[in-house]
Every structure is written in structure tokens, then in C-alpha cells.
Structure 1
């Protein structure tokens, strides 16, 4: 019986995150977590001779959420510009996961044409250890220039 070795789990904190905004690439080391996913959109399809309907994939929508330390004004400046001019902003996010102990290697995903749903303008918390902020976003495309290798015994 084949089993995964514990060493092949990928450490949650061993990642890199870069954000590219208007040609400027930032090492977004203040990121705490990020999760992005796609949801397939489907249409129900009536099928003659069946009592149930089938499902046909017709597209997808990309959404994500990130939490980062409250110590940068980059997104607030862009939200301020949007408020004053109506000029929206789009950006790319590149995330690489790599744990040197794991045999799976590294995986890189690039989220393209991200657009923030909004953002925190200001905050404080007299009872907190540190301040963080969360930003929800959508994205329009994605690439996977590097992917994890299969764990021994999977195939």
C-alpha cells in the first residue's frame, strides 16, 4: 500500500508573493495569506428521454482574497485615485509555493488582471497584537508556468 510521506506536505508559510501594478513589481512580503479559486458557470441542459437535466460548463469566474499586514499604502493610493478620477486599476499576483523538504518541487500561479473589490481605508484595534487587512478581488485570467511534480506512488 502506497502512502504519502509527511515530508511531501507543503509548508504553509514557505511561499513568495509578487504583485505587479502598472509596470512596478513589488515583493509583497507583508502578505499573511492568499487564496484564489475559479468557479465554473454552468447551464442546465434538458435531455430528451431523461428525467433529470444535464449540466454544461459555459465559462468560469475567478475570485480571491488576501490578508496582509497593515503597513503599506499602495492599494489605498490606488483607491484614492479611483475615487478622485474614476480610473480603475488592475494588477497581477504571482504566488510560488516551494518547500525544499518536499519532493513535489515548486508551483507558480500568476493571477492576471486582478481587480480589487474595495479596501480598508483606516483602522485601529487597541486590543490587537498587530494590524492586518483583507482585500477581496476578482481576476480575469491565470497562468501556471510551474507545477508540482507527482508524489511517488500516485501513478
Structure 2
């Protein structure tokens, strides 16, 4: 008989925390409704004698992310304003923790280092909206994983 995952081990999408630390100030980024972070490896094609195809060699990586959050904070707008007026850029760290108490996988925390947003919305109105939200995209330079999900029973054979 094949062992399968229990439904209760699927992670709830809303049971998460996000904290941002910018210029020594730590914020509970509870306004976030969606965050997705990716790491993309950079590769080069490697010609190999005796093969008709080329190999692939990893040479580095790039970290990118996107976030959607409620339009109810001016923290990033203030920093974008400062950048526009002075050229002084800003970087921040973002800590994301997923934990669903019904799941056996436990808790995972990822800390993104030296995040830098690509830009942002300065003002917004929408007379038909139930609520306002905004999106931003960002890059990051490094990351840590101080907490990792547990391996579910049946995964490791």
C-alpha cells in the first residue's frame, strides 16, 4: 500500500507572519496578503566535446520577490520619497514564518537579507473597491532558514 500525505498536513495560506526590519525599526507587516519569494539560478551553456548537446553549469543565483498588501501604510512611500529627493536608497530584511498548528510539518522561517524594492504606488483611489491594496516587487541579496519544516512520515524511504 502506498503511503500518502494527510490532508491536515497541507499548510494554511493565512497562518503566517511577516516582519520587516528597515533602518533599525522592526515592523509587524500584518498588512501583507500575499508574498512570493523566488531564487533563480544563473547558468551558462557548456560545450562538451563528443556530445551533440551542451551541458549546463550553475554560476550564481538571483533572489526576487513580490508582495501584495493592504494600502494602509506609508513606510515604503516615505522611503521612496527620500530616495527621489536625495538618492539615498534603502534596504530592509524580511522574515516570513509559516506555521499551521494542525500540520505535522511544524514551522518554517525564512529571513531575506538586504531586500530592495523596485518601486511602489505613491497614491491610489478606486471608488468601486471594497478595500485598497498595492503590490511591489523586490530583490534580495542573501537569505537564511533558521527553521525548517519537518519531513512528513512516509516521505523518506
TM-score (norm 1): 0.99
Aligned-residue CA RMSD (Å): 0.4
Cα deviation, 1:17-45, whole Å, max 9, x if unaligned, reads 00000011000001111000011000000
For the residue of structure 2 that corresponds to 1:11, the secondary structure is coil
Gaps of 5+ in 1: none
Gaps of 5+ in 2: none
Match of 1:49 in 2: 50
Residues of 2 paired with 1:57 and 1:89: CA distance? 30
Residues of 2 paired with 1:10 and 1:23: CA distance? 31
Q: CA deviation at 1:89?
A: 0.2
Match of 1:18 in 2: 19
Q: CA deviation at 1:72?
A: 0.2
Match of 1:88 in 2: 89
Q: CA deviation at 1:93?
A: 0.4
Q: CA deviation at 1:151?
A: 0.7
Match of 1:72 in 2: 73
Residues of 2 paired with 1:10 and 1:18: CA distance? 19
Residues of 2 paired with 1:60 and 1:127: CA distance? 41
Residues of 2 paired with 1:52 and 1:33: CA distance? 40
Runs of 4+ in structure 1 deviating by more than 2 angstroms, as ranges, are: none
Cα deviation, 1:75-95, whole Å, max 9, x if unaligned, reads 000000001100000000000
Q: CA deviation at 1:70?
A: 0.2
Residues of 2 paired with 1:110 and 1:53: CA distance? 36
Q: CA deviation at 1:124?
A: 0.6
Match of 1:117 in 2: 118
Match of 2:142 in 1: 141
Residues of 2 paired with 1:40 and 1:86: CA distance? 30
Residues of 1 paired with 2:129 and 2:28: CA distance? 26
